[in-house]
A and B are shown apart, each in its own frame.
Chain A
Amino acid sequence: MRAQYHTVALLLCSGLLAACHAAFVPNDRADLILWKNQAGLDEEAETTSLINRFNASQAKWRVVAQSLPQGGYDQSVVAASLAGRMPCVLAVDSPMVASYAWAGHLRPLDGYVPARTLARVSPATIGAFAGKVYAVGQFDAALALYARRSVLARMHARIPTLDRPWTQAEFQALLERLKASGGYRYPLDLETRDDKASWWTYAFSPMLESFGGDVIDRRTMTSAEGALNGAAAQRFGAWFQGLFAKGLADRQEPDDNAFVDGRAAIVYTGDWWADAYRTSAGNDLLILPPPDFGTGVVIGGGSWQWAISTSCAHPDGAGAFITFMLQDRQIADMSDATGDVPVTEGAAAASRDFGPHGKSRIFYDLMRRFARPRPATPAFPAIATAFTTAMRDIMDGKDVHDALDDATDDIDGTIADHHGYATAGGR
């Protein structure tokens, strides 16, 4: 009975779709279907207004935007690629660019987006694979530590700067002093409440890199051996485990308000929380670079990026759209509307908050100086789940070496199954 309804519903739907299609009046402009993730109302509205601006600015193409829920966005793109119904322009989460490029779903941007335009963009927001650029971001995000000036003063802690961030020893000593002060059950909030692999790789693989390890050996991109389970990675794992074992961080904060409510003294998160924290902490708020764990500060680079699908019939139109979106004015407007970090110096200067004296300038500086993209390999989805599983197990007390060995074997196994991703499908 149920199945019958399915069939009827399916027939009705296809009928409706056909009707819609017929109602579409053809004109002299070529339609470019665009897919984007729903990242929030501000971003939604601003993207729509930028698209309208693009459509009004020329007479050859019309971008038709369709936004899809962010939760299942990757799955939708994968489904569309399997069904051979990719849109023309699409937003891709930066770590997925290599996957799609390798699978042949994306077209290199060269020839469609001028090299001059790409050269002005912050390097971490370029989605490259096998020596070619496949995607580019209009904005980026940046990780930082948030703290209160009054709390650090009470702890007699030095206020770190971009040039002199906290060392591991300083950071650790501060956390332990905060804990000993009795004012905080868990002085540090690492946002581990979010158990998604996207957050864990974005937030904690840069820490691993700062320790001197990595989720994959970036010289060869064919193995994680040594990088993810070597001495540096084990030191990172032991330190990370200690944070939870010593009660310096909570494995799962009950809500997102640990810092706002004063339950935590320091929170490690992204620029998207800046406004909420400014509202609650006012002038007392400090936005600080993450600690240098040995080899310099590292933060994750690369947010959602624009790409052109292989099946796009009008790649020059798609390229014109992306080039338009990368104009300083459009970047600055997007940044003003959403608080996202602009990716060019010109746009930062033109924006409300990211200019040389803007209140969010630090995020631009952090991105320019410390952002490192996640490894551009089609193995990334496997890396993300393996790394996240290992780190969550380590947090919960699993033997650090065993956990990292497991993750390394998972990643190397996946790469071996694909013969090292030698047969790239990118064209």
Chain B
Amino acid sequence: MSAPADRRGWTPLWFGAPAVLGLGLFVVLPFVMALILTFTDQRLVSPAPGAFVGLRNYDRLLSVSALVQNPVRDGVPVYARVRSVTRTKRAYLGYRPLAGFGLGRRRVTILAKDPAFLKALGNTFAFAVMVVPLQCGVALGLALLVNAGLRGQTVFRAVYFSPVVMSMVIVSVVWAFLFDRDLGLINQALGALSCGLIKPIDWLGNPSTAMPAIVIMSAWQGAGFQMLILLAGLQGISRELYDAARIDGASPWQCFWHITVPGLRHTIGFVLVVTTIAALGLFTQVDVMTGGGPRGATATVMFEAVQHGVREGNIAYGATISVVYFALITILILIQQLMQRRRVGEAA
């Protein structure tokens, strides 16, 4: 064994060791421990150590069933109360209604053992689907604006970035005031602008507007960060391309569409991924502004995990939520990577 070969083998490992150690200690190890927890009934406060319970936590989290009912009375059909059935019939014990629809005379109710989690899962993805385009679009607009060579753009750059450095808790409290139905600035502005045509909206108190309200507020808070990244991307595009295009008589729109967007492709891809990851971790705004309400309309997966794992002390169940969520996101990323690879393959 020669000395240079030995050095080549060990040096990178030595250099990587602190980071690998840190990652292992603070990321991999906790995850493995969480995985083990999911098969137990460990509580935060308990005299007994957690016992092995097999797949019980997963069963409670993911079980789905359906209940088909014939009307107990015809005419205007009347059905037996779903909750009475699920609390008495053996086959449905532990289930709760998630959603329902009519099928001819019959009524079908989708049941789940933890409908709150499935609802939260839907809410989280709905949030991501709404906030990612909005936030990235706003960020791109702002980046173009502060890159346009207007006067005072340094000031505006700082202004647009300032929400990012504010504490999310404080931003949430302030926006909860803004969204207030009777005294909030947003409703007053809408009322004034529409000459009273728009009636006060109970932004955070109505299940159909609560999540959009959080989307708007989150996009406002976060857009400055994406703006900064996009700005760097914009400044990386060669001025010569624009000059050449102008000589060829291209309109500003054509310049944007054929020079700016292609030039930003990688930056936009990065920004989309980062924003999506941040969106899937939505917690603080919900915890401060709505507490998951009204009627679970804004509960997210992270909120559910904290609610069960920490506030109820059921750490095993909280861990199960996190692990399932991790698996779901991993699958999503794998699909995305596969698609990207295929596209690159086609291009080549």
Contact assessment for A103 and B46 in the assembled complex, using a CB-CB cutoff below 8 Å = yes
Which secondary structure dominates where chain B touches chain A?
A: loop
**Is B233 part of the contact surface with A, judged by Cβ < 8 Å?**
no
Residues of A within 8 A of B26 (CB): 3, 6
Residues of B within 8 A of A2 (CB): 22
Q: How far in angstroms is the closest Cβ of chain A from B188?
A: 12
Contact assessment for A405 and B87 in the assembled complex, using a CB-CB cutoff below 8 Å = yes
Cα distance A413–B25 when bound, in Å?
35
Contact assessment for B47 and A381 in the assembled complex, using a CB-CB cutoff below 8 Å = no
Q: A1-B19, A3-B19 are in contact. Are A393 and B296 (CB under 8 A)?
A: yes
Q: How far in angstroms is the closest Cβ of chain A from B284?
A: 13
Which secondary structure dominates where chain A touches chain B?
A: helix
Contact assessment for B47 and A3 in the assembled complex, using a CB-CB cutoff below 8 Å = no
Q: How far in angstroms is the closest Cβ of chain A from B289?
A: 9
Q: How far in angstroms is the closest Cβ of chain A from B115?
A: 9
Instruction: Choose among A4, A75, A105, A414 the residue that contacts B19 (Cβ–Cβ < 8 A).
Output: A4
Q: Count how many pairs of residues, one from A and one from B, have CB atoms less than 8 Å apart in the complex.
A: 100
Q: A102-B47, A396-B294 are in contact. Are A78 and B21 (CB under 8 A)?
A: no
Cα distance A157–B93 when bound, in Å?
49
**Is A7 part of the contact surface with B, judged by Cβ < 8 Å?**
yes
Cα distance A82–B49 when bound, in Å?
11
**Is A28 part of the contact surface with B, judged by Cβ < 8 Å?**
no
Residues of A within 8 A of B81 (CB): 401
Residues of B within 8 A of A100 (CB): 45
B 285-313 to A, binary, CB cutoff 8 A, 1 in contact else 0: 00000110111100000000001001111
Cα distance A385–B307 when bound, in Å?
8
Contact assessment for B48 and A417 in the assembled complex, using a CB-CB cutoff below 8 Å = no
Contact assessment for B45 and A252 in the assembled complex, using a CB-CB cutoff below 8 Å = no
**Is B182 part of the contact surface with A, judged by Cβ < 8 Å?**
yes
Residues of A within 8 A of B291 (CB): 195, 392
Q: A197-B311, A381-B311, A382-B312 are in contact. Are A81 and B45 (CB under 8 A)?
A: yes
How many chain B residues sit at the interface, stated as a range, is: 35 or more
Contact assessment for A254 and B45 in the assembled complex, using a CB-CB cutoff below 8 Å = no
Contact assessment for A7 and B177 in the assembled complex, using a CB-CB cutoff below 8 Å = no
**Is B137 part of the contact surface with A, judged by Cβ < 8 Å?**
no
**Is B198 part of the contact surface with A, judged by Cβ < 8 Å?**
no
Closest to A406 in B: B96
Residues of B within 8 A of A81 (CB): 45
Cα distance A393–B116 when bound, in Å?
12
B 156-188 to A, binary, CB cutoff 8 A, 1 in contact else 0: 000000000000000000000100101110000
Contact assessment for B295 and A396 in the assembled complex, using a CB-CB cutoff below 8 Å = yes
Instruction: Choose among A78, A396, A398, A402 the residue that contacts B205 (Cβ–Cβ < 8 A).
Output: A396
Cα distance A44–B132 when bound, in Å?
45
Contact assessment for B310 and A75 in the assembled complex, using a CB-CB cutoff below 8 Å = yes
Q: A4-B19, A7-B21 are in contact. Are A103 and B47 (CB under 8 A)?
A: yes
**Is A365 part of the contact surface with B, judged by Cβ < 8 Å?**
no
Contact assessment for A254 and B183 in the assembled complex, using a CB-CB cutoff below 8 Å = yes
**Is B277 part of the contact surface with A, judged by Cβ < 8 Å?**
no
How many residues belonging to A are interface residues under a CB distance threshold of 8 Å? 44
**Is B18 part of the contact surface with A, judged by Cβ < 8 Å?**
yes
**Is A424 part of the contact surface with B, judged by Cβ < 8 Å?**
yes
**Is A251 part of the contact surface with B, judged by Cβ < 8 Å?**
yes
Contact assessment for A185 and B22 in the assembled complex, using a CB-CB cutoff below 8 Å = no
**Is A409 part of the contact surface with B, judged by Cβ < 8 Å?**
yes
Q: A254-B177, A396-B295 are in contact. Are A82 and B22 (CB under 8 A)?
A: no
**Is B23 part of the contact surface with A, judged by Cβ < 8 Å?**
yes
Q: How far in angstroms is the closest Cβ of chain B from A225?
A: 9
Contact assessment for A3 and B23 in the assembled complex, using a CB-CB cutoff below 8 Å = yes
Contact assessment for B313 and A381 in the assembled complex, using a CB-CB cutoff below 8 Å = yes
Closest to B183 in A: A254
**Is B207 part of the contact surface with A, judged by Cβ < 8 Å?**
yes
Closest to B287 in A: A195
A 384-425 to B, binary, CB cutoff 8 A, 1 in contact else 0: 010000001100111001100110010001100110000111
**Is B83 part of the contact surface with A, judged by Cβ < 8 Å?**
yes
Contact assessment for B47 and A398 in the assembled complex, using a CB-CB cutoff below 8 Å = no
Q: A6-B22, A385-B311, A398-B295 are in contact. Are A254 and B184 (CB under 8 A)?
A: yes
**Residues of B143-161 contacting chain A, CB below 8 A:** none
Cα distance A401–B83 when bound, in Å?
9
Q: A254-B183, A396-B207, A405-B87 are in contact. Are A99 and B22 (CB under 8 A)?
A: no
**Residues of A95-120 contacting chain B, CB below 8 A:** 99-100, 102-105
**Residues of A34-87 contacting chain B, CB below 8 A:** 75, 78, 81-82
Q: How far in angstroms is the closest Cβ of chain A from B39?
A: 14
Cα distance A385–B314 when bound, in Å?
12
Sample (11) of A-B pairs whose CB atoms are under 8 Å apart: A3-B19, A6-B26, A103-B46, A105-B45, A254-B182, A254-B184, A378-B45, A381-B45, A396-B207, A401-B83, A406-B83
* Known contacts A414-B314, A423-B48; 15 further A-B pairs (Cβ under 8 A): A2-B22, A3-B18, A3-B25, A7-B22, A78-B44, A99-B313, A102-B46, A255-B177, A378-B45, A381-B312, A382-B312, A382-B314, A405-B83, A406-B83, A413-B94
Contacts from B to A (Cβ < 8 Å): 18-19, 21-23, 25-27, 41, 43-48, 81, 83, 87, 94, 96-97, 177, 180, 182-184, 204-205, 207, 290-291, 293-296, 307, 310-314
